[in-house]
Structure 1
Amino acid sequence: MTSRRSTAVCASTLAAALALGATACGGDPVTAAGGDGKALAGQTLTVAGVWSGAEQKNFQKVLDAFTAKTGAQTRFVSTGDNVSTVVGSKIEGGNAPDVVMVPQVGVLRQFAARKWLAPLPEKVEKSVDSNYAPVWKGYGSVDGTLYGLYFKASNKSTVWYSPDVLDQAGVQPPKTYDEMLAAARAVADSGTPAFAVAGEDGWTLTDWFENVYLSQAGPEKYDRLARHEIKWTDPSVVESLKTLSKLFSDDKLLAGGRNGALATDFPGSVEKVFGPKPEAGMVYEGDFVAGVAKDEFGRKIGEDAKFFPFPAVGGGKAPVVSGGDAAVVLKDGRNRKAADAFLEFLATPEAAAVWAAEGGFLSPNKALDTAAYGDPTLRATAESLVGAGDSVRFDMSDQAPASFGGTKGAGEWKILQDFLRDPSDPAATAAELEAAAAKAFRTANQG
Structure 2
Amino acid sequence: MRTQRTGRKTRTWAALAAVGALALTACGGGDGKGSEADPPAGGSATPKRSVELPQLAGERLEVAAVWTGPEQENFTKVLKEFEKRTGATVTFVPAQDPIVTFLGTKVAGGQPPDVALLPQVGALTAAVQNKWAQPLGPEARAQLDKNYSKGWKDLGAVGGTQYGVYYKAANKSLIWYNAKAFQTAGAQVPKTWKDFLTTADTLSASGVPAVSVGGADGWTLTDWFENVYLSQAGPEMYDKLAKHEIKWTDASVGEALRTLASLFGRKDFLAGGQSGALATEFPKSVTQTFTGGDQPAAAMVFEGDFVAVNIAQTEAKIGTDALVFPFPAVGEKPPVVSGGDVAVALKPSKGAQALLTFLASPDAAEIQAAQGGFVSPNKAVDLAAYPNDIQRGIARSLIAAGDDFRFDMSDQAPAAFGGTPGAGEWKALQDFLANPSDVAGVQARLEADAAKAYGH
| Fold shared per TM-score above 0.5 | yes
1:264 positional shift: 2.8
Q: Would the alpha carbon gap of residues 112 and 57 (structure 1) be closer, same or farther in structure 2, given more than 3 Å must change?
A: same
Distance in 1 (CA, whole Å) between partners of 2:448 and 2:344 is: 32
| 1:134 maps onto 2:147 in alignment | no
1:7 is displaced (CA, Å) by: 7.0
Q: In the alignment, is residue 346 of structure 1 matched against residue 359 of structure 2?
A: yes
Contact 1:251 1:257 in 2 (8 A): yes
TM-score, normalised with respect to structure 1: 0.86
State the AA in 2 paired with 1:293.
Answer: I
Q: Deviations along 1:120-161, whole A, 9 cap, x unmatched?
A: 123433433443333322221111211111102222211111
Quote the Cα distance in structure 2 between the aligned partners of 1:241 and 1:388: 29
Which amino acid in the other structure matches residue 279 of structure 1?
Answer: A
Map of 1:430 onto structure 2? 443
**Counterparts in 2 of 1:251 and 1:76: CA distance versus 1, 3 Å:** closer
1:386 to 2:399 alignment: yes
Matched-pair identity in %? 54
Shift of the 253–288 alpha-carbon distance from structure 1 to 2, 3 Å rule, reads: same
1:32 alignment partner, SS class: coil
Q: CA deviation at 1:411?
A: 1.7
Structure-2 residue corresponding to 1:361: 374
Q: CA deviation at 1:85?
A: 3.2
- For structure 1, the residue ranges without an aligned partner over 5 or more in a row are 18-23, 25-29
1:293 to 311, 320, 335: 311
Say whether residues 1:54 and 2:70 are aligned partners. Answer: yes
Query: Does the alignment pair 1:303 with 2:320?
Result: yes
Partner of 1:279: 297
Q: What is the alpha-carbon distance in structure 2 between the residues aligned to residue 135 and residue 235 of structure 1?
A: 30
Q: Distance in 2 between matches of 1:257 and 1:53?
A: 27
Judging changes above 3 Å, is the alpha-carbon distance between structure 1 residues 76 and 416 closer, same or farther for their aligned structure 2 residues?
closer
**Stretch moving more, 372-381 or 111-120:** 372-381
Q: Name the counterpart of 1:91.
A: 107
Match of 2:329 among 286, 298, 312: 312
Post-superposition offset of 1:115: 1.0
Do 1:61 and 1:354's aligned partners in 2 also have CA atoms closer than 8 Å?
A: yes
Flag the 1:386–1:178 CA change in 2: closer, same or farther, 3 A.
farther
Instruction: Out of 41-50 and 283-292, give the one that drifted further.
Output: 41-50
Which shifted more, 277-286 or 154-163? 277-286
Cα 1:162/1:365, change in 2 over 3 Å: same
* 1:177, distance to aligned residue in structure 2 (A): 1.8
RMSD (Å), alpha carbons: 2.5
Return 5+ residue gaps in structure 2 as ranges: 1-34
Deviation track 1:59-84 (CA, whole Å, cap 9, x = no partner) reads 22212222333333323322233432
Q: 1:80 maps to what in 2? A: 96
1:423 and 1:33 map into 2 onto residues whose CA distance is: 53
Aligned counterparts of 2:101 and 2:143: Cα–Cα separation in 1: 31
Matches within 5 A, 1:31-430: 31-33=51-53, 39-276=55-292, 278-295=296-313, 297-316=314-333, 318-330=334-346, 333=347, 336-430=349-443
Query: Retained in 1: the 8 A contact 2:118–2:343?
Result: yes
- The CA distance in 2 between the partners of 1:361 and 1:384, in whole Å, is 14
Cα pair 1:4 1:369 within 8 Å, conserved: no
Cα 1:144–1:220 shift into 2, 3 Å: farther
Q: Does the 8 Å CA contact 2:38/2:384 hold for their aligned counterparts?
A: no
Report the residue type matching 1:213 in the other structure. Y
Secondary structure of the 1:33 match is coil
Deviation at 1:229, TM superposition (A): 1.7
Select 1:11's aligned residue among 31, 39, 43: 43
C-alpha distance in 1, partners of 2:165/2:43?
A: 21
* Residues 380-427 of structure 1: CA deviation (Å, up to 9, x unaligned): 332343344323223222222222222333221222122222222434
> CA 1:52/1:10 → structure 2, altered by over 3 Å: closer, same or farther?
closer
Deviation at 1:5? 6.5
Q: Counterpart of 2:160 in structure 1: which amino acid?
A: G
Q: Distance in 2 between matches of 1:6 and 1:315?
A: 33
Aligned residue type for 1:305: A
Contact 2:38 2:383 in 1 (8 A): no
Q: 1:279 to 1:73 in 2, by over 3 A?
A: closer
Identify the range of structure 1 (321-330 vs 120-129) with the bigger mean alpha-carbon deviation: 120-129
Preserved contact between residue 171 and residue 304 of structure 2 (Cα < 8 Å) = yes
Return the offset for 1:365.
0.9
The one-letter code matched in structure 2 to 1:410 is: A
Distance 1:424 1:274 in 2: 30
How far off its partner does 1:10 sit? Answer: 9.9
More displaced 10-residue stretch of structure 1: 369-378 or 75-84: 75-84
Cα distance change on mapping 1:339 and 1:188 into 2, 3 Å: same
Q: Say whether the 8 Å CA contact 1:196–1:270 is kept in structure 2.
A: yes
**CA displacement at 1:169 relative to structure 2:** 2.8
- Structure 1 residue runs of 4 or more that deviate by more than 4 Å after TM superposition: 3-10
Q: Deviations over 1:79-112 (max 9, x none)?
A: 2334323333333333332221222212111110
TM-score of the two chains, using structure 2 as the length reference? 0.84
Q: Distance in 2 between matches of 1:338 and 1:11?
A: 27
What is the distance in 2 between the residues matched to 1:145 and 1:321? 25
The answer to whether the 8 A contact 2:222-2:410 is kept is yes
Give the secondary-structure state (helix, strand or coil) at the position aligned to 1:14. coil
In the superposition, relative to structure 1, how do residues 269 and 338 fare at CA in structure 2: closer, same or farther (>3 Å)?
closer
CA distance in 2, matches of 1:433, 1:78: 30
